[in-house]
Chain A
Amino acid sequence: MPADILGPISQSPEDEDTIDEDALAEIMKTVPLGAGVLAGGAVALLVLGYIMIYVLVFLPRGVVG
């Protein structure tokens, strides 16, 4: 059986680290930005919902204490 269809299991230890560090560095430049945009967008939607309920529902319902 050819080695390439056996997948990673068949690889010898010296073949494992075949990651191109430059390509990884290029990707890692944008990963934090992407994570920030995704998490920031999700939190922004949550905060927007909170503020809308606070201003449009909670405050008009009046004084309580």
Chain B
Amino acid sequence: MSQAHPEAHERRILRTELLWSFGVGVLIVATLGMIVFTAVTRDINPPSNVERIDPKNLHLSGEFAEHNLGTAVASDGSVVTRVIATQFMFSPRCIAVPQGRPVTLRFASPDVIHGLLITGTNVNTMVIPGYVAQVHTEFARSGDLLMPCHEYCGLGHSEMWATVQVLSDQEFRPDGDGRVRCAQR
């Protein structure tokens, strides 16, 4: 009985394992490469914004005061939408955004942790009391999209949702103050 056999087995297994390790390494590099390539060429990144805000007087004064909620078009044409996520509703319940233009969505919570996504888009963020959650995006198609809370926030969680109305250029008309409200359909 030859003693070379076990060594030959081990060499063959080692070669297979090395080949496998190389293949897995290539896969990991390719996956990370896809993510980096998409981030650089398509500007698709995980939303990242660390900005403190006092949740106690959120809706009384400042950026998230009631009169300032919803969508506003600044003088430079930039579109910013501000929404409060609170138990158990979004305020406003319907937000109007333009189709095919960059939009900055800003969310804040005065009570507990909420989360949201907008169906059919990559918008998906947590809303944590004390911080402003900010997402930059662009809506490709017009129509009504659902924006539910996706972080359990209490007994009324399932009732907490809003509508995102993506309006075409003809429909997206700011008023004198630069504010845009949902169209009545």
Contacts and interface: CB of A to CB of B under 8 A. Distances in A.
A binds B: yes
Interface of A: 21-22, 24-25, 28-29, 32-33, 35-36, 39-40, 43, 47, 50, 54, 58-65
B56 interface: no
A63 B138 contact: yes
Interface of B: 1-2, 5, 8-9, 12-13, 15-16, 19-20, 23-24, 27, 31, 34, 38, 42-48, 102, 120-124, 135-140
B12 A64 contact: no
B12 A32 contact: yes
A64 B23 contact: no
Contacts of B13: 32
A47 B23 CA distance: 12
A54 to B, nearest CB: 7
Contacts of B27: 43, 47
Overall SS of chain A's interface = helix
Contacts of A54: 34
Given A54-B34, A61-B121, A25 B136 contact: no
Nearest to B137: A64
A43 B34 CA distance: 17
Contact of B136 (A28, A33, A61, A64): A64
A11 to B, nearest CB: 19
Contacts of B24: 43
Given A32-B12, A32-B16, A54-B34, A62 B5 contact: no
